[in-house]
Amino acid sequence: MVISTSSAGAMESLHGLVDLRTAAQLLAAAAALYILIEHLSYHRKKGALPGPPLVVPFLGSAAHMVRDPARFWEVQAARASKSGAGLAADFLIGRFMVFIRDSELSHRVFANVRSDAFVLIGHPFGKKLFGDHNFIYLSGDDHKDLRRRMAPNFTPRAFATYAAIQQRVILSHLRRWLDRSAANGGKAMPIRVPCRQMNLDTSQTVFAGPYLTKEARERFEEDYNLFNVGLTALPVDLPGFAFRRARQSVPRLVRVLDRCARDSKARMRAGGEPECLVDYWMQETVREIDEAKEAGLLPPAHTDDGELGSFLFDMLFAAQDASTSSLCWAVSALDSHPDVLARVRAEVASLWSPESGEPITAEKIAEMKYTKAVALEVVRHRPPATLVPHIATKEFQLTEWYTIPKGAIVLPSVYESSFQGFPDPDAFDPERFFSEARREDVVYKRNFLAFGAGPHQCVGQRYALNHLVLFMALFVSVVDFRRDRTEGCDEPLYVPTIVPRDGCAVYLKQRCARFPSF
C-alpha cells in the first residue's frame, strides 16, 4: 500500500497535536496535584488556627499584603483576637505563616532565638536581602560575644559624643525645612521624606563620622533608597524587579561601611580620640586583635572588616526608618495634644534656650523626664516596626495544643502587644510613663515590646530614645508648627515601617528669635 506525501504529513501533524494535548493534560494534572498538595500541607500546618480556607497557589496572600499591608495585618490581628487563641495562619510565597498577637506567646518566641528553635530574620525574606554575615542572624555565644564587643558604643561618654553630632545635623535640617517652607509661601510640607533624609544624615555621621566622603554618602543614599523600595516589593529575585535591585544594593552598601571600619581601626591604633560610633567600637576591637596577635592567636571572631561592614549596615538599617516613623508620629501627636506640647516646651525651656549658642548637654537631656515619657508613649502608641519576623528552624511547641511547623515564618506583632494590658490603650497619654504612681512602663513591661525582648532585644534602644527626645526638644523650641489635618491623614502607611498616610504634612515657621548655630 502506498501512502501519499500529503497523507503522511497529515498523520505527523495529528500525532504532534496528540502529543501537545497529552503534554498539556499532564501539565494540568501536575499543576492540580501541586495545588492539592499545597492546600493539604497548608491545612495540616494550620490545624485549628484561624486562617483563609483557600490560598492562591504559591503566592498565597502576598498580593494582598503588598497592595494593602495595613488592612492585611488588621485582618490577621482580628482573626487572632476573635479566635481567642492569639494566633492566626496564612500563606506567603510558598511559606506557611503564623501571626502572633498574644504578648506572652511573642515572649516565648523572643526568648527562644537559637539554632534549634527560631532565627530572627528582620523581614519575611530577609536572608536573601541582608546576606549571611548579619548581626540579626547570630545566636548563642556568637551573638553574646558580639553584643559584648558593642558595649563601648553605648556608654555615657559615647552618648555625649553622639548628642553633639545629632544636634548639629538636626538643626541643619530644620533650617532647610524652614527655608523650604518659606520659599513655598508657607504651604504645608510633608516631612516624612525630609525626616528620612535627616535620619540618614544623622546615622551616617554618628555611626561612620569622618570616614564617609561626600561621594560615598551620595552613593550610599542611592543604594539605600533601592534597598528600602525592595523591602515592600514582591520578593521576585529576577532582573528588573525592585527586590533584585534591593538585594544587589546590599553588598555595595557593605563595601562602603567595611572601608569605614578599616579606616577607623587604623586611626584608633594610632591613638586617635573617638569621634563616632565606629571609633568607640574599634578602639576596643583593635586592642583585642593586637593582644591575640601578640599571643600568637587568630584574630577574635567578628572583627573582620567585611563582617563589621555588615554589622554597621544592620545598625544603620535599624536606626533609619524606625526613627523616621517615630519622628513623624511625635510631630503628629504633639500637634493633636496641645497640653502635651506646652509641657514639653516648658520643660525644654527650663533647661535650654536656642539663643544660648550651646548644644544641649547630656546632663540636660537626662533631666528632660517628661519629654522622655512622651518619646516612650510615641513608641508604644505607634511602634515603628510593627512585626518581628522569625523562621522556625525546627518544630516548636508554642502552646499545649499548637506546634509551629519547621520552616514557618513566625510573626510576633509588637504593635498588637502595645494595645494589650495598658489602661485606655488607644489614648495617647505620656502620663502612663511619667507618673510615679502609675509606672505603666514597669507594670505592663511584658506588653511594651517595641524594642523586642530576650537576647535579641534592640541593642540601640537608648540611642533611639535619645534621638527622639533631642529631635522633639529642638523642634518645639525653634519651630512653630501646625498639622495639615485631612481625612485619614493619620492612618498608618507601611513604608516599610508605619508613618502617617499623608506623610505628616505640617505648616512650619521659625519660632525662636535667633536660630541656633554651634
**Which top CATH class is 51-132+387-418?**
alpha beta
Residue type, 374: V
Residue type, 312: L
Distance CA 163, CA 173 (A): 15
Per-residue H/E/C for 452-518:
CCHHHCCCCHHHHHHHHHHHHHHHHHHEEEEECCCCCCCCEEECCCEEECCCCEEEEEECCCCCCCC
Classify 140 in phi/psi space as left (phi over 0), alpha (psi -120 to 50) or beta.
left
| pLDDT value, residue 1 | 47
By the 10 Å C-beta count (0-12 exposed, 13-18 middle, 19+ buried), 20 is classed as exposed
CB under 8 Å to 135, separation ≥6 — which residues?
A: 146, 310, 311, 314, 315
Q: What is the side-by-side strand order in the sheet with 118-120?
A: 87-92, 95-100, 409-412, 390-392, 118-120
pLDDT digits (tens, 9 = 90+) for 378-433: 999 999 989 999 999 999 999 999 999 999 999 999 999 999 999 999 999 999 99
Q: Cell 501571626 sits at which residue?
A: 99
Sequential DSSP letters for 2-48: ---HHHHHHHHHHHHHHHHHHHHHHHHHHHHHHHHHHHHHHHHHHTT
Given a contact cutoff of 8 angstroms between Cβ atoms, the answer to whether 487 and 505 are in contact is no
Going by the annotation, the residues of the binding site for heme are: 458
Domain locations in the chain?
A: 51-132+387-418
What is the chain's pLDDT, residue by residue, as a tens digit (518 residues)? 444 555 555 555 555 555 777 878 778 787 777 777 888 889 999 999 999 998 888 888 888 888 888 899 999 999 999 988 899 999 998 899 999 999 999 999 999 998 899 988 877 677 777 766 677 778 888 888 889 989 999 999 999 999 999 999 999 999 999 999 999 999 999 999 999 999 999 999 999 989 988 888 888 888 888 887 887 777 888 888 888 998 888 888 889 999 999 999 999 999 999 999 999 999 999 999 999 999 999 999 889 998 999 888 888 877 788 899 999 999 999 999 999 999 999 999 999 999 998 999 999 999 999 999 999 999 999 999 899 999 999 999 999 999 999 999 999 999 999 999 999 999 999 999 999 999 998 999 999 999 999 988 988 999 999 999 999 999 999 999 999 999 999 999 988 889 999 999 999 999 999 999 87
Distance CA 36, CA 147 (A): 46
Going by the annotation, the residues of the binding site are: 458
Beta partners for residue 461, in sequence order: none
| pLDDT value, residue 17 | 56
DSSP state of 424: S
Residue type, 97: M
Residue type, 340: V
Tell me what percent of the chain is helix, strand and coil, each rounded to the nearest 5: 60, 10, 30
Given a contact cutoff of 8 angstroms between Cβ atoms, the answer to whether 474 and 511 are in contact is no
Pairing of strands 409-412, 95-100: parallel
**Long-range CB contacts (within 8 A, 24+) of 301-308:** 301/142, 301/145, 301/146, 302/142, 302/145, 302/146, 302/149, 303/149, 305/258, 305/259, 305/261, 305/262, 305/265, 306/133, 306/254, 306/258, 307/133, 308/257, 308/258, 308/261, 308/281
Q: Cell 578602639 sits at which residue?
A: 283
Distance CA 476, CA 335 (A): 10
